[in-house]
Structure 1
Amino acid sequence: MSVVLINPNSTVAMTRTMLAAARAAAPGQTIEGWTSHGAPPAIQGPEDGAAAEGPLLDLVRKAVDQDADAIIIGCFDDTALMAAQRLAPCPVIGIGQAAFHACAMRGWRFGVVTTLPVSVPIIEGNIAAYGLSGACARVRASDVPVLDLEHYPERAAATITAEAQIAVREDGIDAIVLGCAGMTRITETLRSTLPVRIVDPIEAAITCIPWLVGQG
């Protein structure tokens, strides 16, 4: 079974980070990581998402032509997910979609800690579209730009951890969903620090793929 993990932004380092996390979560699985070179370097808000859509869908078509068994859209905004699903005969899953449903299937009330405030309405809209608003306590922004997760990981981790600690104290949650693909770099740090479950969206997506492919 072959899985193509598509990074909808043009930052190759982030593709490598996601690919390493996916392979660690699904050892033995054949996973390729593709970068959308015609897209913005980070997807932060609706304008970046719109600019990323065309190059992303080109890569979806390429994955279909190569007979991929499954495709993962590696942006927490689930950029162009519905359009990609219409293009592909194989399962196409967004990492945000996977993380939210993983919480719902466990009966966890969850909070989201994401990057910038501009992403909050997009994430809230996706959660509502998936019918999971009742399971989500709050979507919080940490004010960490996406690329800081690659360039300044220690500083980013400290800021995100502080916001997650507030969520634990104030939001009545069982789990925190990490609201950016680049946060996979700090998953284990947060798991060792916080008393709630930490849901890594890359892990959530790759681990559900075998079941999805089996239903095809």
Structure 2
Amino acid sequence: MRITLINPNTSRAMTAKIAAAAREVAGPGVEIAAVCPETGPAAIESHVDEAFAAVAIVRLIEDDIAAGGSDAYVIACFGDPGLDAARELVDVPVIGIAEAAMHVATLSGRHFAVVTTLSRTLGRARDLLARYGMGEACVSLVGSGIPVLDLEDTASTSFERIAALAADEVAAGADVIVLGCAGMTDLCHALTARVGVPVVDGVGAAVGLAATMVRMRVGTSKRDEYAPPPRAAVTV
């Protein structure tokens, strides 16, 4: 089984980090192919960045299809950019890390809180909660004020800041913490130990769900909305 993990920003360091996390949960017989675009935003932190990210995701999936394709695709950005477009392109599973993390969180506890990066991304997170039917399960969305690229620095104070916010949300009633950025993936286990409740990383959640769907032979429905787009493939 081959799962292509798409980091839609151009950070190769972050791509390598999320690939390592994905391989931890993928299990035997699963190849993780981690890719990122050559050009575009270095981090996805605005609606403009997400627009560029969606285009990059379409391009990377079309390139992968031309090279033989994969058994599943994971979009490793918490805004789940380009998710619907990606699902139009293939009949295999396509999983966004926000959707995956939220679903896994609801299987782990009744209520979850999301700790993410910049507060300007909280509007997009609220949109996704509504879309995925998670509004009642999510008790809080918190922006840490940490830029995405600061998460590349393992010597930074990011862990302590995120841990403190997560602990506050647990004290306020969250049963589970969801990490709202793929760049936080390497903090997951240490945070679980620190705050005393399950901490869900969307990269691991998405890869686990994608692999399970492949084994179950459940792909993306081609009825109606996610049918192939009514045009020939184009270069974007």
Please give the TM-score of this superposition, normalised by the length of structure 2: 0.87
Higher RCO, Cα 8 Å, sep 6+: 2
Q: What are the within-5 Å matches in structure 2 for residues 104-123 of structure 1?
A: 104-123=106-125
CA drift of 1:138 comes to: 1.0
CA drift of 1:18 comes to: 0.4
After the TM superposition, which of the residue ranges 49-58 and 5-14 deviates more from structure 2? 49-58
Q: Secondary structure at 1:154's aligned position in 2? A: coil
Which runs of no fewer than 5 residues in structure 2 stay unpaired? 220-236
- 2:32 matched to 1:35? no
In structure 1, C-alpha distance between the alignment counterparts of 2:195 and 2:171, rounded to whole Å: 11
Q: Secondary structure at 2:39's aligned position in 1? A: coil
CA RMSD of aligned residues (A): 1.3
Match of 1:167 in 2: 169
Match of 1:204 in 2: 205
In structure 1, C-alpha distance between the alignment counterparts of 2:198 and 2:37, rounded to whole Å: 31
In structure 1, C-alpha distance between the alignment counterparts of 2:186 and 2:109, rounded to whole Å: 26
Match of 2:228 in 1: none
In structure 2, C-alpha distance between the alignment counterparts of 1:152 and 1:23, rounded to whole Å: 20
1:165-194: CA deviation from partner (whole Å, max 9, x where unpaired) = 111122x11100000001012112201101
In structure 1, C-alpha distance between the alignment counterparts of 2:155 and 2:46, rounded to whole Å: 21
Query: 1:64 touches 1:89 (CA, 8 Å); kept in 2?
Result: no
Query: 1:63 touches 1:71 (CA, 8 Å); kept in 2?
Result: no
1:110-145: CA deviation from partner (whole Å, max 9, x where unpaired) = 100000001111011011101111111111001010
CA drift of 1:82 comes to: 0.9
Query: 1:38 touches 1:52 (CA, 8 Å); kept in 2?
Result: no
Query: 2:26 touches 2:211 (CA, 8 Å); kept in 1?
Result: no
Which runs of no fewer than 5 residues in structure 1 stay unpaired? none
CA drift of 1:80 comes to: 1.1
Q: Secondary structure at 1:133's aligned position in 2? A: coil
After the TM superposition, which of the residue ranges 20-29 and 101-110 deviates more from structure 2? 101-110
Q: Match of 2:111, as an amino acid? A: R
In structure 2, C-alpha distance between the alignment counterparts of 1:68 and 1:153, rounded to whole Å: 35
Match of 1:57 in 2: 58
In structure 2, C-alpha distance between the alignment counterparts of 1:6 and 1:86, rounded to whole Å: 16
Query: 1:10 touches 1:36 (CA, 8 Å); kept in 2?
Result: yes
CA drift of 1:152 comes to: 5.0
Q: Match of 1:168, as an amino acid? A: V
After the TM superposition, which of the residue ranges 31-40 and 99-108 deviates more from structure 2? 99-108
